[in-house]
Each structure stands twice: as C-alpha cells, then as structure tokens.
Amino acid sequence: MTRVVLDPTSERTPAQRRRLARLATLAGQRIGLLDISKARGDLFLDRLEQRLRERGAEVSRYRKPTFTKPAPPDLRQRIAVECAAVVEALAD
C-alpha cells in the first residue's frame, strides 16, 4: 500500500534566476568590495583593491555593521546601483 505523508519542507522550488553575464573586462568597471566586519578582512580587501586597480577597475569599498547578520537592504541596494560586480569576502 502506498503511504502518504505531509511534506515538512518549505515546498519552495527555487526560482530559477539567471546569473548576470560575466564581465568581459575589468577595465573601467566599478567593483564593490564588501567588508563583512570580520577581523583582518580589511587586509585582504586592501590587497584585492590594489590588484583590481592594476587592471584598470574602479573600486568602491563598503562595510556591513556586523558579520553576524545579513547586510541591511539599503546597503545591498546601494551596491547594486553603484557597482558592476561585488566581492563579498568571508574571512575566518
């Protein structure tokens, strides 16, 4: 006999969102660097900024208030408006 149970999950079929096309070049593009406020993450991002600038990219730096919580919507919105791409670095 077939047994029937109730689905304990969110029943969410993940919305299939297409990724943005990969940037063809870094030159002239604004790249966001998001510091999540973990210790020494800034050192890593400093180096990344230097390397990106060497390749002709513009760099904007952002920082979220605490690494323990998701970035506030306003900050996410600002990054989306201002940048062509963003690097969010998790340091541990």
DSSP annotation string for 33-59: EEE-S-TTHHHHHHHHHHHHHHTT-EE
What token pair was written down for 39?
Answer: 């210790």
Position 16 contacts other proteins (CB under 8 A): no
First to last CA, the chain: 51
Cβ of residue 43: shortest distance to other proteins, in angstroms? 16
Residue closest to 51 by CA, chosen among 31, 65, 70, 36: 31
Among 23, 31, 59, 68, which residue sits at the site for other proteins (rule: CB under 8 A)? 68
Cβ of residue 87: shortest distance to other proteins, in angstroms? 19
Position 10 contacts other proteins (CB under 8 A): yes
Cβ of residue 32: shortest distance to other proteins, in angstroms? 21
List interacting residues with other proteins (CB under 8 A). 1-12, 65-66, 68-70, 92
